[in-house]
Amino acid sequence: MREPLKSCPNQYRSHSLSGECYLVPLVLIVGISFVNIIQLLVQFLNFIHSAASIAKYSGTCPAPANMRLSVKHKRLPLRQLISKLTNKSRDHLTPELEMRLITPDSPLWKCRPEECPFVDPYWAFYWPGGQALTRFILDNSNIFQRKNILDVGCGCGASSIAAAIVGAKLVLANDIDTTACEATALNARLNRTNTLHILNDNILNKKSTSLGHVDIVLIGDMFYDSEFSQMLLDWLRTIKKSRVFVGDPGRHGLDNLTRSQEIQLVSEYDLLDHTVLENNGFKTSRVWEVF
């Protein structure tokens, strides 16, 4: 009997999030215990505090580095900031899923990275590789049903959410970026998915055995950096027992691999017209299986 994915200390479930939503408790304030009222008061103060910090960002782009949120213990303000600065979008290859993203009509779309209140918000875009991989999951639910799934570099969380929707046994969405994990949690709730586990950690430093048994590893658009691509490939070689699916529009990090026997094309999708315009040079996105 194989052991399922182990829990990790800083893992949290998206379905526990509803307790932190400030709107719900404010509505239900009548008829609850004293302890709860204290808790609500704390949350309310937290909300006021975060509202103030959001106000600082309301002038679209410029935010000096020292104003960037230190993330620990500030999950609620962070989520509010994500909600404020992103738009809900179904304008992608998986319209079944509504994702919070920085879209072309968001003021942050055209700002420079140093002006953005989020540090490297890779999670804020639905990359073509992620779109293809998520489409593939939704269209091939049989592959993912009743499986333990690990989504490395989950970003906005689309592939994880899709895997949960099609009936995976357990989905672990992983990203090194705390904000990405919060965005994934928000997006999971937006799509009424409450069976997602989220792990904010650098998983490539971990021995694969520490993760328990993983049936399928998902990698959406992570081959944009040659150095990191190599790390990722080395890590993938240590998890021989799992099937690995990669979504990628043709980034340079995958070049050496696509010429080798270790990888096989599974599916190719035409990107939507506006996605083509937004992703200079890419017209299609592919799903590969790595052996």
Partner 1 sequence: MARVLVGVKRVIDYAVKIRVKPDKSGVVTDGVKHSMNPFDEIAVEEAVRMKEKKLATEIIAVSCGPPQAQETLRTALAMGVDRGIHVEVGPAELNTLQPIHVSKILAKLATEEKADIVIVGKQAIDDDCNQTAQMTAAVLDWPQGTFASKVEKTNGELTILREIDGGLETIKVKLPAVLSADLRLNEPRYATLPNIMKAKKKPIKKVTPKDLGVDLSPRIEIVSVEDPPTRQAGSILPDVDTLVTKLKEGGHL
What is the contact mask toward partner 1 in residues 252 to 281, using x (rule: CB under 8 A)?
A: x-----------------------xxxxxx
The answer to whether 167 touches 188, Cβ cutoff 8 Å, is no
Q: Token pair 């204290």 is at which residue?
A: 38
- Of how many residues is the chain composed? 291
CB of 123 to partner 1, least distance (A): 11
CB of 280 to partner 1, least distance (A): 3
Cα separation values, 224 from 90, 131, 175, 199, 250, Å: 24, 15, 16, 22, 9
Our CB check for partner 1 shows the closer of 77 and 155 to be 155
CB of 225 to partner 1, least distance (A): 3
CB of 73 to partner 1, least distance (A): 27
* Cα dihedral sign, 165-166-168-172: negative
Could you tell me which stretch among 30-38, 83-91, 123-131, 158-166 binds partner 1 (CB under 8 A)? 123-131
CB of 115 to partner 1, least distance (A): 9
The strand order across the sheet containing 196-200 reads 11-13, 196-200, 170-175, 148-152, 216-220, 243-248, 284-290, 263-270
CB of 99 to partner 1, least distance (A): 14
Our CB check for partner 1 shows the closer of 78 and 156 to be 156
Q: How many CB atoms neighbour CB 259 within 10 A? A: 9
Our CB check for partner 1 shows the closer of 241 and 283 to be 283
Our CB check for partner 1 shows the closer of 26 and 277 to be 277
Strand partners, 196: 171
Tokens of 275: 């996605």
Q: Is 121 one of the binding residues for partner 1 (CB under 8 A)?
A: yes
Q: How far apart are CA 90 and CA 21, in angstroms?
A: 24
Which of 20, 22, 113 is CA-nearest to residue 73? 20
- Residues from 181 through 240 that contact partner 1 (CB under 8 A): 224-228
CB of 226 to partner 1, least distance (A): 6
Q: Is 127 one of the binding residues for partner 1 (CB under 8 A)?
A: yes
What is the phi/psi pair of residue 268, to 5°?
-135, 135
Our CB check for partner 1 shows the closer of 54 and 111 to be 111
Among 85, 108, 154, 180, binds partner 1 (CB under 8 A): 108
How many helices and strands in the chain, by DSSP H and E? 10, 10
CB of 270 to partner 1, least distance (A): 12
Q: Is 102 one of the binding residues for partner 1 (CB under 8 A)?
A: yes
Among 96, 120, 234, 268, binds partner 1 (CB under 8 A): 120
E-state strands within 120-213: 148-152, 170-175, 196-200
Our CB check for partner 1 shows the closer of 177 and 215 to be 177
Binding site for partner 1 (CB under 8 A): 102, 104, 108-113, 116, 120-122, 124-125, 127, 224-228, 251-252, 276-283
